[in-house]
Structure 1
Amino acid sequence: MGMDISGFVECRAWPPREAKGETNVEGGGEGEGVAWRAAIDLFCLNTTRNYDAFGCLFGMRNYANFSPLAAERGLPVDVSETVRAELVRVAEWGDEVHGTTWITWAELKVVDWDEPAERADSRLHQYRQTPEGLRFVGKAAWDETFAQAVGPAAGVVGQPTEWPEGSEWLVGDTLYRAERIRRRDAVREDGEWAPVWTVMETLAALHGDDNVRLVVWFDI
């Protein structure tokens, strides 16, 4: 079954004290006493089902074998009321939530997007031979044509196989190759996550890098 992502960008903003008529910070520490608010539903920015990105960022469906940036952190203790209410609503519908976690803009802005995965992708990358050269056509953990050609070495349906990086098999006009990808291959700079990063960066410029975060969860 497929896995989808949901969530919210949250912001810890400083409301004008004159408008509130009170001090909003207790104890003088930065951010203390200031509530997190839901800034925008992730649904408005990105609902793409991209397992490479899910694995790279949050460790879900991590077939590409990344060291996740923020996996299984759970729900922040100071999560906004909007996010808490949304999770209650989802539970009432009987939907099962997995992999709840969060990550701040401060963490995201220092990511080394050139960092490779820890080992080769569990899915073989497939290239078709054309007059113009090799053309990438997709990747899969199991392929019937490949399995028929190589036998038991192809692995078992539904069970990811560990391939030595650089291994290649030419079957007909299709080249099967074990490759290790980088974070920027999973989360492209101009890809579906760009709108999310733009919103978070804009809010961080106003309120601080540690005062903007993305809270997400997954359902099957």
Structure 2
Amino acid sequence: MGTDISGFLEYRVPQDDQEPLWYSSHGLSSLNDDVRDYDAFGCLFGVRNYANFRPLAAARGFPGDASATVSARFAELTEWYGEDGFHSTTWITWAEVKAVDWNELAEKPDSRLHQYRQTSTGLRMTGKSSWSRVFAEAVGIEVGEAREWPEGSEWLVGDTIYRSATIRRREAVTETGEWQPVWEAMKELAEQHGDDNVRLVVWFDD
């Protein structure tokens, strides 16, 4: 079973003699349709964190001052699917995204071994795997057994290279990837309302 993400962008506007109010802007799905980007989920929100990042904004909960539109949508979904239908609800501001060191390494090697094939133009990554029968049989570990391997450990099994690697944030959330339209939309809103007055609210379901 996979994990999907949902959410909205919000911006905050001051009110005369009142607390500033949040308003909804974009639905996340209109900006990023890759709903199972697990490396990004882990890097940003600590969900499916196979790559072992220090999450930027994990499990902060649903904001009590959420916009009327987002609050109504979340309540509607909760009524349909029950309180256990969603998990890891959280939010992150544009100010926090702007401050990210995208060169920061994960805290330890990826839980999945990275797999490569040799091609005429060099090594080509073919995937990541927490467990492989072929690899397990080659190195003598039990079926289904998960291991942590030291950084740089490498094995050639058949024509596949298995390598333990630690990745950087920019490899999880790439400069040209699915999250860039989200960042661009947040940046545009922040130019009008301020970096701390723009946020992304998200939740997950399995």
Band the TM-score falls in, shorter-chain normalisation: over 0.9
Match of 1:79 in 2: 66
Number of the residue aligned with 1:100: 89
Partner SS for 2:81? coil
CA shift for structure 1 position 54 = 0.1
Deviation at 1:87, TM superposition (A): 1.2
The alignment of Structure 1 onto Structure 2 pairs a total of residues equal to: 203
Q: Label 1:81 to 1:124 Cα distance change in 2 as closer, same or farther (>3 A).
A: same
Deviations 1:44-101, CA, capped at 9 Å, x for gaps: 0113111000000000000000000000000112111111111111122226101000
Q: Which runs of 5+ in 2 are unaligned?
A: none
User: Which position in structure 2 is the counterpart of 1:5?
Assistant: 5
Q: Which runs of 4+ in 1 moved over 3 A?
A: none
Is 1:133 matched up with 2:122? yes
Asked if the contact 2:133–2:143 (Cα under 8 Å) also holds between the matched residues in 1, the reply is: no
Shift of 1:129: 1.9
Say whether 1:25 aligns with 2:12: no
* TM-score of the aligned structures, taking structure 2 as reference length: 0.94
What's 1:89 paired with? 76
Aligned to 1:51: 38
- The residue that corresponds to 1:146 in the other structure is 135
Q: 170, 174, 184: which one pairs with 1:188?
A: 174
Which residue identity lines up with residue 62 of structure 2 in the other structure?
L
Partners of 2:69 and 2:52 in 1: CA distance: 33
Q: Is the CA contact (8 Å cut-off) linking 1:123 and 1:160 kept in structure 2?
A: no
Corresponding letter in the other structure for 1:168: E
SS state at 1:180 partner: coil
Within 2, Cα distance between the matches of 1:81 and 1:160?
Answer: 45
Higher mean alpha-carbon deviation, 122-131 vs 89-98, is at: 89-98
Query: What is the alpha-carbon distance in structure 2 between the residues aligned to residue 56 and residue 5 of structure 1?
Result: 14
**Which of 1 and 2 has greater Rg?**
1
Q: Relative to structure 1, is the Cα distance of residues 118 and 75 closer, same or farther in structure 2, using a 3 angstrom cutoff? A: same
Normalized against structure 1, the TM-score is what?
0.88
Distance 2:13 2:104 in 1: 32
Which residue in 1 is equivalent to 2:193? 207
Indicate the structure with greater strand content: 2
Shift of 1:160: 4.6
Per the alignment, in what secondary structure is the counterpart of residue 7 of structure 1? Answer: strand
Tell me which amino acid in the other structure corresponds to 1:93. Answer: W
